[in-house]
Amino acid sequence: MSDTPELDADLTLLGATTAAVAERYLTTVREVAAGSSPEAAIPLLLLAVSDLSAAGARLGAIVDVVPADRFEPDDGPDNNAEPLRTSLANVLDGIDEYQEVADPLVSPEVTTGSLSNDLADIAHALGVGLRHHRAGHASEALWWWQFSYLSAWGERAASATRTLLTLIAHLRLDVDDDTASEAEFDALYGGDPGDQIS
């Protein structure tokens, strides 16, 4: 039975939008984990996580969602995130781990993170909300997505975004000086430095 009438039009739309973003994220992460476009894995993951972070920010910005029921309905078996985690770790081998400050507001302690863990944990949290949403428990789905965003996957998505962006920056910008000079000349003048008239 659907609990959609418990939500106003804005929250109903937010739930549908979040569900669509969650589906896109899961599709992208599964395709990357399957190894179907290894050369585009990092850009695809950055796009998926950034898109999801924008949806999460909307969840964090609204007042607390109150589910229609006082208990969490059983909307099917929990998906096992371990195969996805393992596949992602294989795809990201050599670039999976990163360093970060655990809590910049409380302590400068540096910890080690893992992209494959972040991406799989986010997928698991989104999947729980999607099961509620597909079963017609819209308020429960929104409550879960909001709670899990604030308590877990929002921070994991932020760490993953920063790490993926850093990876892309290194891939694009870490070039030798001659290559960088030639690229800069081409960008400014549209030609070969050897063609320049002195």
Question: Which residue spans within 11-131 are E strands per DSSP?
Answer: 97-103, 107-114
pLDDT tens-place string over residues 3-62: 444 678 889 899 999 999 999 999 999 999 999 888 899 999 999 999 999 999 999 998
| In the chain, where the domains are located | 4-195
Q: Could you give the C-alpha distances from 158 to 2, 57, 60, 136, 181, in angstroms and in order?
A: 33, 11, 13, 29, 33
Q: What percent of the chain has pLDDT over 70?
A: 79
187 pLDDT band, cuts 50/70/90, is low
With a cut of 80, say whether residue 160 has pLDDT above it. yes
What whole-number distance in Å separates Cα of residue 152 and Cα of residue 146?
A: 10
- For 4-195, the fitting CATH number among 1.20.120.1550, 1.25.40.20, 3.40.30.10, 3.40.50.300 is 1.20.120.1550
- The amino acid that residue 77 corresponds to is P
The pLDDT score that the predictor gives to residue 172 is: 78
pLDDT tens-place string over residues 68-111: 666 565 555 567 789 999 999 999 999 999 999 878 888 889 99
Taking a C-beta distance cutoff of 8 angstroms, is the pair 27, 123 a contact? no
